């Protein structure tokens, strides 16, 4: 090149802040290196001249990012990010750009290597951080669902897949309202989202809320949801941490139902009042829309409607009227099937049940699922069925073994109550029924006196903790309270002995074999006729934890 041009090139070459070499196109030998190249390699620039490109690379010769693989010197000089070794053995990453030129009559290449070691390290840290976060989100036991500012799902972890029954690939990109929000709440959800986007005002964001969420099969599940909102690069994102409350709600309903029915039976009122109150408390506690009691007419061998309780959420009058017009033989309709089997029966989807004479009016009223159990005169096989109790919901309800067991016990108690009401000693028989309730309960029921000595220990307590009633009665209750829970136990007992009540306390105890059992505990003080506290009554449900998350397939 002309002398002035060569001088200008050399001045620019030597003053360039990034390492530069001129490399022979055939041999890949360095013909010239600038001072920045010497600094990058920790030596004088002249020491690089005469070396081949492969001599400057890291011994493993791997390219960290870019096209191709291997130690091809031609590929190195063409571009990409490559590892190079300094004079002291350390390494740096160079991002290569190059241009063809003629140098002293040779075909050569000007190679510029920008040091991107710190940048690549930052990128690697970011990728590793994202990978760790992704792994953490994927494997946390609670559901994590993220969405963009318009409510479209961005992430749906494995726990969410298990709880809601959707595959991640099927919901990403869909509006969260269509996937998880029940139909009757979607418009309110969308209005809330639009209001937040327009004003930034927070209503449920940042606080824990309990609500029903939709599952893939159309059923709903109670969840606790905490939504947070963040702004990244000017875009709003929402992250919802969701806890499945199915087990907690189920245990709460079991305990609450037994408490309520104990109180109803203790009133000693007539059977009609008892039946109506039973329908009311079960519908309110279990969130059913309507409850009905059918009595067996022994003269005609037909089931006839006797009592109805309906909520105000849906117009139930047509369904009630249709039910009053009908009577059922054994095996016909939901009541007839329960009468024939002498056992509880679920109808998960009324629309697909071929033996449901009231289906059209039920569906017109918005009912979708039903459940019924018998009122029985005794617990033995072949015991007489006195009647049938039905409940219906506008939601799809799936089979629940615990609730079926609970209502089977309730049906037995109602049957015994009906029979015992015919006898003169109503108070004595009521007390016997209450004793039967405590004994037959699928929940552990424990009575302590003021000294915390065990005075009652039912069969469910035996199954749950391993001690028989004979082993435990008369002993101090703390025998199954582990040392680390003694302070908590004393605090709870002190609260009860002062007249307080406990509802749904989550804690744990130990079994006879030393193993741990997680429980929900509710308890009330027992009082004498004079109002003095004479002891404590506790109802305990085992808390079944979900299985740990497994690997995603």
Domain boundaries, the chain: 3-116, 140-244, 248-433, 443-542
The reply to whether 443-542 shares the fold of 248-433 is yes
Query: Could you report the per-residue pLDDT of 390-421, keeping only the tens digit for each?
Result: 999 988 887 777 777 778 778 887 887 777 76
Query: Could you report the per-residue pLDDT of 421-446, keeping only the tens digit for each?
Result: 665 455 565 666 667 777 778 888 89
pLDDT-wise least confident of 209-223, 237-251, 423-437, 513-527:
423-437
pLDDT-wise least confident of 68-82, 236-250, 327-341:
68-82
- Residue whose C-alpha is closest to residue 344's, from 403, 271, 419, 262: 403
Q: Which long-range contacts (CB under 8 A, 24 or more apart) does 339-345 make?
A: 339/296, 339/303, 339/374, 339/385, 339/388, 342/374, 342/376, 342/382, 342/383, 342/385, 343/373, 343/374, 343/408, 344/371, 344/372, 344/373, 344/374, 344/404, 344/407, 344/408, 344/411, 345/371, 345/372, 345/373
Give the whole-angstrom CA distance, residue 231 versus residue 237: 6
CATH topology for 248-433?
Beta-Lactamase (3.30.450)
DSSP letter assigned to residue 312: S
Query: Could you report the per-residue pLDDT of 45-81, keeping only the tens digit for each?
Result: 899 999 998 888 887 654 443 444 334 788 888 888 8
Superfamily of the domain at 140-244: PAS domain (3.30.450.20)
Give the whole-angstrom CA distance, residue 222 versus residue 250: 10
User: What does CATH list as the number for 3-116?
Assistant: 3.30.450.20
Confidence (pLDDT) at 69: 38
Residue linked to tokens 């979708």:
368
Q: Is the pTM of this model over 0.85?
A: no
Q: In the predicted model, what is the mean pLDDT of the chain?
A: 83
CATH topology for 443-542?
Beta-Lactamase (3.30.450)
Query: Could you report the per-residue pLDDT of 126-158, keeping only the tens digit for each?
Result: 555 555 545 444 455 578 888 888 889 988 888
């Amino acid at each position: 090149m002309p002398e002035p041009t060569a001088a200008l090139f050399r001045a620019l070459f030597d003053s360039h802040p990034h390492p530069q070499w001129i490399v022979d196109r055939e041999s890949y030998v360095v013909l010239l290196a600038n001072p920045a190249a010497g600094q990058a390699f920790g030596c004088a620039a002249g020491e690089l001249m005469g070396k081949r490109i492969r001599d400057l690379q890291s011994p493993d010769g791997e390219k960290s990012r870019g096209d191709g693989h291997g130690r091809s010197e031609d590929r190195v000089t063409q571009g990409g990010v490559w590892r190079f070794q300094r004079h002291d053995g350390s390494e740096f990453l160079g991002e290569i750009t190059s241009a063809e030129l003629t140098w002293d009559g040779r075909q050569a290449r000007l190679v510029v290597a920008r040091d991107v070691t710190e940048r690549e390290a930052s990128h690697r840290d970011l990728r590793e951080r994202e990978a760790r976060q992704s792994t953490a989100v994927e494997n946390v036991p609670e559901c994590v669902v993220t969405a963009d500012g318009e409510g479209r799902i961005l992430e749906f972890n494995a726990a969410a897949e298990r709880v809601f029954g959707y595959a991640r690939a099927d919901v990403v990109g869909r509006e969260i309202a269509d996937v998880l929000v029940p139909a009757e709440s979607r418009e309110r959800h969308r209005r809330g989202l639009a209001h937040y986007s327009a004003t930034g005002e927070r209503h449920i964001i940042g606080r824990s809320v309990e609500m029903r969420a939709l599952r893939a099969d159309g059923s709903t599940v109670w969840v606790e949801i905490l939504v947070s909102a963040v702004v990244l690069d000017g875009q709003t994102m929402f992250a919802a941490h969701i806890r499945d409350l199915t087990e907690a709600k189920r245990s709460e309903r079991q305990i609450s139902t037994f408490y309520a029915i104990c109180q109803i039976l203790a009133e000693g009122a007539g059977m009609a009042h008892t039946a109506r109150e039973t329908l009311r408390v079960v519908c309110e506690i279990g969130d059913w829309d309507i409850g009905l009691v059918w009595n067996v007419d022994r003269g005609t061998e037909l089931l006839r409607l006797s009592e109805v309780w309906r909520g105000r959420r849906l117009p139930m009058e047509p369904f009630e009227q249709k039910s009053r017009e009908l009577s059922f033989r054994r095996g016909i309709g939901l009541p007839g099937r329960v009468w024939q089997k002498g056992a509880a029966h679920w109808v998960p989807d009324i629309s697909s049940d071929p033996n449901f004479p009231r289906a059209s009016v039920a569906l017109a009223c918005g009912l979708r699922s039903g459940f019924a159990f018998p009122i029985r005169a005794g617990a033995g096989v072949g015991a007489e069925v006195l009647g049938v109790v039905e409940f219906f919901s506008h939601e799809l309800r799936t089979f629940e073994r615990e609730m079926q067991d609970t209502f089977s016990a309730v049906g037995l108690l109602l049957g015994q109550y009906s029979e015992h009401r015919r006898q003169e000693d109503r108070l004595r028989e009521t007390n016997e029924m209450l004793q039967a309730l405590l004994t037959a309960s699928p929940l552990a029921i424990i009575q302590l006196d003021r000294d915390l000595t065990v005075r009652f220990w039912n069969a469910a307590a035996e199954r749950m903790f391993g001690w028989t009633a004979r082993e435990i009665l008369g002993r101090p209750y703390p025998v199954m309270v582990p040392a680390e829970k003694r302070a908590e136990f004393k605090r709870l007992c002190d609260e009860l002995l002062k007249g307080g009540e406990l509802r749904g306390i989550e804690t744990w105890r130990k079994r006879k074999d030393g193993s741990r059992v997680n429980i929900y505990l509710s308890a009330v003080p027992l009082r004498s006729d004079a109002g003095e506290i004479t002891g404590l009554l506790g109802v305990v449900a085992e808390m079944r934890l979900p299985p740990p998350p497994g690997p995603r397939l």
